Amino acid sequence: MCTRHVVSLPGGRLAGVAGMPYPKNLQTAMEVEAIVRDNGAVPATIAILDGVPHVGLNSEQLKSLAISGRQFQKTSRRDIAHVVASGGNGATTVSATMFFAHKVGIPIFVTGGIGGVHRNGEQTMDISSDLTELGKTPVTVISAGVKSILDIPRTLEYLETQGVTVAAYRTNEFPAFFTEASGCKVQCRVDSPEECANIIYANKNLYLGSGILIAVPIPKEQAASGNAIEAAIQKALKEAEDKNIIGNTITPFMLDRVKVLTGGCSLEATYSDIALVKNNALLGAKIAVALSDLHQRFRRSAL
- SS3 of 174-238: CCECCCCCCCCECCEEECCHHHHHHHHHHHHHCCCCCCEEEECCCCHHHHHHHHHHHHHHHHHHH
Radius of gyration of the chain (CA): 19
Number of domains in the chain: 1
Cα angle 50, 129, 19; round to 5? 60
Give residue 59's pLDDT.
93
Determine the structural domain holding residue 60 and report its residue range: 3-302
Give residue 94's pLDDT.
94
Bridge partner list, 142: 110, 214
Q: Say how far apart CA 116 and CA 152 lie, in whole Å.
A: 7
Q: Cβ neighbours of residue 89 under 8 Å, at least 6 residues apart?
A: 47, 48, 49, 50, 68, 71, 72, 73, 83
Number of helices and strands in the chain (H, E) = 12, 10
**DSSP letters for 76-135:** -GGGHHHHHHTT--EEE-HHHHHHHHHHTT--EEE-S----BPTTHHHH--B-HHHHHHH
pLDDT tens, the chain, 303 aa long: 344 467 777 876 555 454 577 888 899 899 999 999 999 999 999 999 999 999 999 999 999 988 887 789 999 999 999 999 999 999 999 999 999 999 999 999 999 899 999 888 887 788 999 999 999 999 999 999 998 889 999 999 999 999 999 999 999 999 998 888 899 999 999 999 999 999 999 999 999 999 999 999 998 888 777 788 888 889 999 999 899 887 767 877 887 888 888 776 554 455 677 888 999 999 999 999 999 999 999 888 776
Backbone dihedral region for residue 69 (phi beyond 0: left; psi -120 to 50: alpha; all else: beta): alpha
Q: Tell me, what CATH number does 22's domain have? A: 3.40.1790.10
Cβ burial of 116 (10 Å; 0-12, 13-18, 19+) is: buried
Give residue 1's pLDDT.
35
N-to-C CA span, the chain = 21
